[in-house]
Structure 1
Amino acid sequence: MSAKPTNSAQNTHWGKVSLALCAGLFVSMQVGKLGPAIPVLRDDLGLSMVDAGYALSIFTLLAIFLAVPLGAFSTFFGRRSIIVLGILSVMIGTLGSTVITQPWMFLVLRALEGFGFIAIAVNIPAFITHLAAPQDRTRALGVWSIYMPTGMAFALLVSTPFLTQIGWRGLWIVMFLLAIPLLIGLWWALEEPSAQQTREPPAVARMVANSYRAPGLLMVGACFGVYTFQWVTIMQWLPSFLNEEVGLSLEHAIYFTAAVVFMNGPGCYVGVRFAARGVRSSSLIVIGAVTMAVLTFAIFGAGVPPLMRLILCMIYSFIGGFIPANLFLLVPQYAPDLRHVSIGNGILMQGSAVGQTLGAPIVAALVTQAGGDWDVAIWPMLVMSGCVFLLGFFGFRRSNL
């Protein structure tokens, strides 16, 4: 494995790290806001079920193809430029959506939001690595690791009352307004580390090739993919379970699902705190994998009371958070140097997107073939847990991490 990257920061800029986290929370809210709005969008814009499926999955599909290129572009154009472009893309997408009337226009603007989401998610962690002093880097990246579940859960919680009061167009305008101070703050606060930038396209291409040749970064991407496969399956199953078996309304099912999603955030932070206290990331990843495997039997097994299943889902999400949090920590460790961190984060995000893309249809096909019996979801979930365990125990542990 390559030597750990060095950092020029002598003192951690916690204010700037907090601003970077706000950027992550903001773009993850763009993911969470859509689900509750789908019924309203179908009525207002005439979205078909296929259109709705594309709208829900377009961020993931774009991430497969754009995550690594956007990480590479940042080394050529500068990370701050790509991050600001990402915020502007989300702003144009959200504001533009409020004046359109055709489904295809909504999908195009949703794709623009997706571009912005990926630009932020890939490049902010590299900036945090630069902003944090070496002794604080683990804690700073740990703070970042909560961005996705926390922002998604918050959007799920607030979207329903906002949709009731001001409609989906009003909600999109609120998102646009939130982006304005964020854009100004990011432009002012983030300084481009010139030593991490290159203006030579062949050099950028070599950096991408070197990143894909780094076994550690490939393991991180693969591990995130098989973890995401499991976590997304639980989130896909939970609303229908709460609605059909517990008898909750869809609105209340969304609230409970948001609570389960939210639990992943504190789990990420606790996992990083353990790492900061000297526990190996590989050990924490193994703990997460074993816990998720054991709880899979209880969650999908027969005879478990509904309330207990919900509690187990929260524990599943919490302990599962150990895995993504520590994968974020491993990217700078496996990257050849700091210039490769954005590309490494792109590989991580690419793996996550592949896991999401494959997980939902594979599990849905198995459940459909079994006549709607979700018990069959146990087996692909256990296979994925086994893959995480093997990567943690035999892959990352060999690197003494």
Structure 2
Amino acid sequence: MNMSSRGGASAVDTTMLAYLVVLAGVTTALHIWKLPPALPRLQAELGLSLVESGFLLSLVQMAGMTLGLLMGLFAEKIGLRRCLLLGLLLLSLASAAGAVFVDKTLMLVFRAVEGCGFLMVVMPGPALIRRLVKPNQLARLLGVWGSYIPMGAVIVLLAGSWLLSMADWRVLWWLLAIVTLVVMALGWRMLPSDPSRPARDQRSSAWRIVRSTLGSENIWLVALCFGFYAAQWISVIGFLPTIYALAGVSGPVAGVLTAVVAGSNAVGCYGAGRLLHRGASARTLMIAGYVTMAATTFVAFGLGVPVLVQFLMVLVFSSMGGLIPTTLFFLVIKLAPSAETTSTSIGWMQQISAAGQFAGPPIVAWVATLAGGWASTWVFTGLCALIGIGMTLRLGVRLRARG
């Protein structure tokens, strides 16, 4: 275990520090998910169309979609800890600015800046956890890490919906800015300093690292699997409050239902970590997740079922889908071409994931606009699932050949 700290740390301490990294990830998820419960008010205040709302949901992923690989190199240069702390600072500043400067265009800009901060935190997260814990703890801790998005969603959708029932959305933006600063201070005080790095030779040049990362078919397959998972998950969960509002479900109730669905994803993420630790096949876990996501969205949106049945189907969609991200975080660390390409491999996976999250909500909103409702949502999610299954099968072949 690679360890560097101001005063040293015991095995228990390093596990707690790994949970602090998870807390930083959850904090970034609060910023991602603060928008859905506030979206109806923002639509009314800023005059946003449905498609513009979709872009507002997904624009936070712009930085990840364009800068993931470069951010991996950036973290490799400045250190994983420093990258994470700078990302938390950027998120806090952008959230505060969004509460002060209220304008449709500026809101889009600040969401893009938040996307940069998000990426700077979540990209080095798995590598920091690997640095902190013993190898036999890694799968379980990555299971916890993989649930940072749904855990953040539960917190902000429940507490945020409650807060928004009493206060303006700007209060939520300010509150999250303060919380993020607190987490940054904890990270600065407690996380071990980045180890000193020897001078790099020609073999470790930036171009060589990028070429090695992008030259790996395994990394491409892992990244694309994540992208097609993320596109369908965020599209369904992100629009749930709007879907429930159209069905006549009140704001606080819609927030609770959406939070339960998003939180169920954490159960799948954690379960995948436990199953991987016990030797379960990554291929089996991913195919089970994709097949379930396709089947449940068909029932939920394609058959015109009552709201209760739709809720149950989306609940299963989210929980079983959680098997996928943890498995992919585990695989990307395992399949990185070399130790020095771990950060860029994770960055590339985040980049493709962000592209899926960026494209998914506007596409689903566009389909809903053409169809006059959400009944055709299953076509998009089913197509994503089928592509994900195909890539998983290809990845399974390469894993067996690799031994």
TM-score scaled by length of structure 2: 0.88
Corresponding position of 1:323: 324
Corresponding position of 2:385: 385
Q: 1:240 deviation in Å?
A: 4.2
Cα distance, 1:153–1:397 mapped onto 2, change above 3 Å: farther
Corresponding position of 2:2: 8
Corresponding position of 1:252: 253
SS at the partner of 2:303? coil
Question: Could you report, residue by residue, the CA deviation over 1:35-87 in whole angstroms, capped at 9, with x for unpaired residues?
Answer: 2223444666x464477555432211221112211111111121222111111
Cα distance, 1:227–1:53 mapped onto 2, change above 3 Å: closer
Cα distance, 1:90–1:200 mapped onto 2, change above 3 Å: farther
1:75·1:196 contact (CA, 8 Å) conserved in 2? no
Q: Which moved more, 1:268-277 or 1:109-118?
A: 109-118
Give the letter aligned to residue 17 of structure 1: A
2:99·2:170 contact (CA, 8 Å) conserved in 1? yes
In the alignment, is residue 159 of structure 1 matched against residue 160 of structure 2?
Answer: yes
Alpha-carbon distance in structure 2 between the residues aligned to 1:299 and 1:346 = 33
* RMSD of equivalent CA atoms: 2.7
1:87·1:116 contact (CA, 8 Å) conserved in 2? yes
Cα distance, 1:199–1:38 mapped onto 2, change above 3 Å: farther
Corresponding position of 1:206: 208
Report how many aligned residue pairs link the two structures: 392
Q: 1:299 deviation in Å?
A: 1.8
Alpha-carbon distance in structure 1 between the residues aligned to 2:164 and 2:40 = 11
SS at the partner of 2:205? helix
SS at the partner of 2:2? coil
Alpha-carbon distance in structure 1 between the residues aligned to 2:368 and 2:166 = 37
2:57·2:238 contact (CA, 8 Å) conserved in 1? no
2:36·2:239 contact (CA, 8 Å) conserved in 1? no
Alpha-carbon distance in structure 1 between the residues aligned to 2:309 and 2:363 = 26
Alpha-carbon distance in structure 1 between the residues aligned to 2:112 and 2:199 = 27
Give the letter aligned to residue 68 of structure 2: A
In the alignment, is residue 144 of structure 1 matched against residue 145 of structure 2?
Answer: yes
Q: Which moved more, 1:23-32 or 1:180-189?
A: 180-189
**What pairs with 1:102-251 in structure 2 (closer than 5 Å)?**
102-188=103-189, 189-195=191-197, 198=200, 203-236=205-238, 238-245=240-247, 247-251=248-252
In the alignment, is residue 24 of structure 1 matched against residue 25 of structure 2?
Answer: yes
Alpha-carbon distance in structure 1 between the residues aligned to 2:56 and 2:359 = 17
**What pairs with 1:261-276 in structure 2 (closer than 5 Å)?**
261-276=262-277
**What pairs with 1:347-386 in structure 2 (closer than 5 Å)?**
347-372=348-373, 374-386=374-386
2:268·2:323 contact (CA, 8 Å) conserved in 1? yes
Alpha-carbon distance in structure 2 between the residues aligned to 1:234 and 1:323 = 16
Alpha-carbon distance in structure 1 between the residues aligned to 2:204 and 2:399 = 30
Give the letter aligned to residue 194 of structure 1: S
Question: Could you report, residue by residue, the CA deviation over 1:159-184 in whole angstroms, capped at 9, with x for unpaired residues?
Answer: 12223444333222222221233222
SS at the partner of 1:248? coil
Corresponding position of 1:3: none
Give the letter aligned to residue 98 of structure 2: S
Question: Could you report, residue by residue, the CA deviation over 1:312-371 in whole angstroms, capped at 9, with x for unpaired residues?
Answer: 211111011001110011111111233322211111111212222332333333343334
Q: 1:112 deviation in Å?
A: 2.5
Alpha-carbon distance in structure 1 between the residues aligned to 2:319 and 2:105 = 38
Cα distance, 1:397–1:191 mapped onto 2, change above 3 Å: farther
Q: 1:222 deviation in Å?
A: 0.4
Cα distance, 1:358–1:303 mapped onto 2, change above 3 Å: closer
